[in-house]
Amino acid sequence: MTVLDRTNAMMEAAVFHGHERITIERIRIPDVGAGEVLVRVSRTALCGSDFKLWHKGAEFTAGHEIFGVVEQPGHRMHGRRCAVYIPIHCGHCAACLRGDTQMCLEVSSLIGWNRPGGYAEYLPVPENCLLPVPDDIEDSLAPLLLDTIGTSAHAVRFVSRVVPPQEAGPVLVTGAGPVGLGVILALKDAGYSDIHVSDPNAWRLRIAEAFGAMSHPVGDTGKRFALIMECSGAHAARNLGIEVVLPRGALVLVGENAMPWTIEEGKVFRRKDFYMIRTFYFPLGDFEPNIALLRCYKDEYRVLVDGEFGLRDLPQNFARFAEGKLIKPVLALERS
Ligand SMILES: [Zn+2]
Ligand SMILES: [Zn+2]
């Protein structure tokens, strides 16, 4: 295709209609705004947070764990391999200035949610959301630098200030999905050594064990922990975390849940000092250490990418993913 004049140029994209229905359509390539470039998608990882859009439908093209190549002739980034940082951020508010780009006080728009995302051939990306990926990182692993590594490692870095590795003792991770498994690797890397993990899915648990964690029974209240990383989003796991977190310990809510969560203010909640922490995504400045983390545990991260397919096969593979049959499958768009 001609890249210079994209007026009315078309591309293939997945359309989420709601009621678990996805179709592949030819749609117009979205406009590229001022301060933005066009990115040709190479890989977009599927994410459990997209289930919401799968059920309810999406206003914009979904897909938010995106890796591609800048296709903007004449631009200094043209041809560069980049991951896409999804929080749009102004760069000059108090949050941005202190490095908290994922919580910009001026803009709260997310790529793949509030503007077009990566289940398509192309998308426009603001220049300050381009994260150049070094050549030694293979295409299929590059999207993991975002949610799987970024979200997980940020949660661990954030809580390590209140419960540092040398004071933590045993740590519990609830939920062994991509983020939970990412948290296990980030904990190991940060120096936490005694890691326990619970998940109802035996197959995911085996992967967690292969990553060095010890399996812990789901719902068990017999053992208490100074640090609990809640990665499932399940209300039962959150409530259990409140119960078994030790005094002065921390419960970190990394997992998400679209349904309202009620905390019962009983004895276990009321009668102890503890930290209950929520973390979201990761600051831009974490990207370099996250690349280092990926290099260090490449073989482990490779295990997570257990499916790769083109756009036409996205609908059926999204359904398999929703059934829990795949951990971190990626949509792969090859250059035609
Ligand atoms: Zn995600
Ligand atoms: Zn800002």
229 shares a domain with 322: no
pLDDT digits (tens, 9 = 90+) for 42-66: 999 999 999 999 999 999 999 999 9
Q: Confidence class of residue 103 from pLDDT cuts 50, 70 and 90?
A: very high
The mean per-residue pLDDT over the stretch 12-36 comes to 97
- CA 164 to ligand 2 center in whole angstroms: 29
Rg from Cα positions in the chain: 20
Distance from Cα 97 to the centre of ligand 2, integer Å: 7
On whether residue 288 sits in a domain, the answer given is no
Q: What is the mean pLDDT of residues 108-121?
A: 97
Q: Does 84 fall in a domain?
A: yes
Number of structural domains the chain divides into: 2
Kindly state whether residues 130 and 246 are assigned to the same domain. no
**34/112 same-domain check:** yes
Sign for the CA dihedral angle at 324, 325, 327, 332 comes to negative
Q: Are strands 245-253 and 195-198 parallel, antiparallel or unpaired?
A: unpaired
> What is the whole-number distance in angstroms between the Cα of residue 273 and the centre of ligand 2?
33
Residue with tokens 């019962």: 264
Residue 69, beta-bridge partner list = 40, 81
Inter-residue contact 213 to 183 (CB < 8 Å): no
Q: From the CA of 109, which ligand is nearest?
A: 2
Ligand located closest to 98 CA: 2
In this predicted structure, which of 14-18, 25-29, 130-134, 264-268 has the lowest mean pLDDT? Answer: 264-268
Enumerate residues 6+ apart whose C-beta is below 8 A from 128: 35, 85, 89, 91
Bridge partner list, 227: 171, 250
The residues, any chain, with a CB within 8 Å of residue 209's CB and separated by 6 or more, are 197, 215
Distance 139 CA to ligand 1 centre (A): 17
Same domain, yes or no: 314 and 252: no
Under 8 Å between Cβ of 199 and 205: yes
Environment class of 307 (CB within 10 Å of its CB; exposed 0-12, middle 13-18, buried 19+): middle
CA of 128 to the centre of ligand 2 (A): 11
pLDDT of residue 5: 63
Residue 85 identity: Y
Q: What is the pLDDT of residue 2?
A: 44
CATH number of the structural domain spanning residue 218:
3.40.50.720
How many angstroms is it from 4 CA to the middle of ligand 2? 31
CA distances from 122 to 44, 71, 142, 154 (A): 11, 9, 17, 28
| Residue 293, domain member (yes or no) | no
- pLDDT (0 to 100) of residue 4: 53
Which residues place a Cβ less than 5 A from the ion ligand 1?
47, 49, 147
pLDDT at 309: 97
Q: Which domain holds residue 133?
A: 10-145+306-332
Measured in Å, residue 93 CA sits from the centre of ligand 2 at: 4
Say whether both 127 and 170 belong to one domain.
no
Q: Give 179 Cα–ligand 1 centroid separation in angstroms.
A: 9
176 and 123 share a domain? no
CA distance 150 to 144: 8
Residue 173 · residue 231 · CB < 8 Å: yes
Residue 48's identity, in one-letter code, is G
- Same domain (yes/no): 271, 169: yes
Same domain, 32 and 135: yes
Cβ burial, residue 67 (10 Å; 0-12/13-18/19+): buried
* Rounded-to-integer distance, Cα 198 and Cα 69, Å: 38
Q: Are residues 91 and 28 in the same domain?
A: yes
Q: Is residue 297 part of a domain?
A: no
Whose atoms come closest to the Cα of 91: which ligand?
A: 2
Indicate if 124 and 53 belong to the same structural domain: yes
Ligand approaching nearest to the C-alpha of 151: 1
CATH at residue 71 = 3.90.180.10
- Find the mean pLDDT for residues 263-292: 96
What are the tokens at 299? 């073989």
Q: Is residue 300 part of a domain?
A: no
Decide: 327 and 304 in contact? Cβ < 8 Å.
Answer: yes
Q: In the predicted model, is pLDDT for residue 265 greater than 60?
A: yes
At 145 the three-state DSSP class reads: helix
Same domain, 170 and 135: no
- Taking the centre of ligand 1 as the mean of its atom positions, its distance from the CA of residue 86, in whole angstroms, is 10
194 lies in some domain: yes
Residue 241 falls inside a structural domain: yes
Catalogue the E-assigned strands of 162-240.
Answer: 171-174, 195-198, 214-215, 225-230
Is 5 part of a structural domain of the chain?
A: no
> What pLDDT is recorded for position 1?
44
| Distance of CA 147 from the midpoint of ligand 1 (Å) | 5
Ligand closest to Cα of 179 equals 1
Which ligand is in closest contact with the Cα of 97? 2
Q: What is the pLDDT of residues 157-200, one digit of tens each?
A: 999 999 999 999 999 999 999 999 999 999 999 999 999 999 99
**pLDDT band at residue 336, thresholds of 50, 70 and 90?**
very low
57 shares a domain with 14: yes
pLDDT tens-place string over residues 214-247 = 999 999 999 999 999 999 999 999 999 999 999 9
At residue 128, the pLDDT reads 97
Mean pLDDT (the chain) is 96
| Percent of the chain predicted with pLDDT > 70 | 97
Query: What sign for the dihedral angle of Cα 177, 183, 188, 192?
Result: negative
